[in-house]
């Protein structure tokens, strides 16, 4: 089930659960119907949000300027909008070994 993302034309909306202060930035799978992302930046001074934008843009092949946090700036539960992603959102999920 793909409750964690929605597509509308070139616009992709992701429902994300963020865990700041991790050892490295990575996707940890799905958590409570959202994409769980561990971020290697502290949740202070907007650093985790900036790292999340950079991470999502790199993973989906979109420019950083085309990735924005639409809801949840001070929450672990965020809504992220991506315009012009060159990779499908499923590419974010860790591969099952």
Chain segment 31-75, per-residue pLDDT in tens:
999 999 999 999 888 999 999 999 999 999 999 999 999 999 999
Q: Using an 8 Å Cβ cutoff, are 67 and 93 in contact?
A: no
CB 92 within 8 A of CB 59: yes
Q: What dotted CATH number matches 5-84?
A: 3.30.1200.10
pTM exceeds 0.85, yes or no? yes
As a whole number of angstroms, the distance between CA 32 and CA 97 comes to: 22
Q: Tell me the pLDDT tens digit for each residue of 5-19.
A: 999 988 999 999 999
């Amino acid at each position: 089930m793909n409750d964690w993302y929605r597509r509308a034309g070139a616009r992709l909306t992701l429902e994300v659960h963020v865990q700041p202060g991790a050892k490295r930035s990575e996707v940890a799978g799905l958590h409570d119907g959202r994409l769980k992302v561990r971020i290697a930046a502290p949740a202070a001074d907007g650093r985790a949000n900036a790292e999340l934008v950079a991470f999502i843009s790199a993973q989906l092949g979109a420019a950083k300027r085309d990735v924005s946090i639409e809801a949840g700036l001070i929450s672990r539960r965020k809504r992220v909008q991506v315009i012009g992603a060159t990779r499908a959102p499923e590419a974010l999920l860790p591969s099952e070994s």
